[in-house]
A and B are shown apart, each in its own frame.
Chain A
Amino acid sequence: NAGVTQTPKFRILKIGQSMTLQCTQDMNHNYMYWYRQDPGMGLKLIYYSVGAGITDKGEVPNGYNVSRSTTEDFPLRLELAAPSQTSVYFCASSYSISGSSGNTIYFGEGSWLTVV
């Protein structure tokens, strides 16, 4: 299994441009997530999905959009990129997320995005 794969690994965007971060997982996980990580600020949840066709906002959804047409894929779209979106983005997945089963969240390798 490749686990969680996200592309691209590095990208420089100009202000106002749009782009899509791709994420795919081959573990047949129901739950998928997008986090952003800013220096010293931990991991902030952007959007998450509990299954194909279902998405919901996290803590910091403004400026982003997601879709979940298949179990495997969960792309993150940035519209009209702004310097505040310069960050490291992590896609992640889990079979479920439950206090009783405690399933592990698996992270992708991260995408370094700079908006200039």
Chain B
Amino acid sequence: GENVEQHPSTLSVQEGDSAVIKCTYSDSASNYFPWYKQELGKRPQLIIDIRSNVGEKKDQRIAVTLNKTAKHFSLHITETQPEDSAVYFCAAYTGANSKLTFGKGITLSVRP
């Protein structure tokens, strides 16, 4: 089955700096890659996603890039703010089993 890994497991940045969170996946048939943000004690919520026929997608301060050859995708957050502090999960969808496989999550801390 699909295996999704996230690196690093924790990330600390200074407010205003950029943060990059990288995920790798194992199944070359995966074709949909969402990112979820989970604040402490809250539910995960979708923040951005990308399909396999697109290399990059932006939404204001966040962007996601996909490298299908290397089987990795990354979340980019620019001009980080304290409210960006959360756990971020990447996931990969494979049509064969019709479900998402999540990574273990990365804790992002933005220092004021």
Interface residues of A (CB under 8 A from B): 33, 35, 40-45, 48, 50, 58, 90, 97-100, 102, 104-105, 107-110
Least distance between B41 CB and chain A CB atoms (Å): 8
Tell me the complex Cα distance, A21–B20, Å.
37
Q: What 3 A-B pairs have minimum CB-CB distances, sorted nearest first?
A: A99-B31, A99-B32, A42-B104
- Whether the Cβ atoms of A97 and B100 lie closer than 8 Å is yes
Interface of chain B residues 39 through 59 with chain A (CB within 8 A): 42-46, 49, 51-52
Interface residues of B (CB under 8 A from A): 9, 30-32, 34, 42-46, 49, 51-52, 89, 93, 95, 98-100, 102-105
Residue from B30, B46, B51, B52 within 8 A of A104 (CB atoms): B46
Tell me the complex Cα distance, A108–B38, Å.
12
Residue from A33, A42, A108 within 8 A of B43 (CB atoms): A108
- Whether the Cβ atoms of B44 and A90 lie closer than 8 Å is yes
Inter-chain contacts of B95 with A (CB < 8 A): 98-99
Tell me the complex Cα distance, A35–B36, Å.
14
Least distance between B36 CB and chain A CB atoms (Å): 8
- Whether the Cβ atoms of A42 and B103 lie closer than 8 Å is yes
Tell me the complex Cα distance, A62–B52, Å.
33
- Whether the Cβ atoms of A42 and B89 lie closer than 8 Å is yes
Tell me the complex Cα distance, A50–B46, Å.
20
Least distance between A30 CB and chain B CB atoms (Å): 11
- Whether the Cβ atoms of B43 and A43 lie closer than 8 Å is no
Tell me the complex Cα distance, A98–B34, Å.
12
Q: Closest A residue to B52 by CB, please name it.
A: A99
Inter-chain contacts of A105 with B (CB < 8 A): 34, 46, 100
Given contacts A42-B89, A90-B44, A97-B93, contact A33 B99 (CB under 8 A): yes
Inter-chain contacts of A102 with B (CB < 8 A): 32, 34, 49, 51
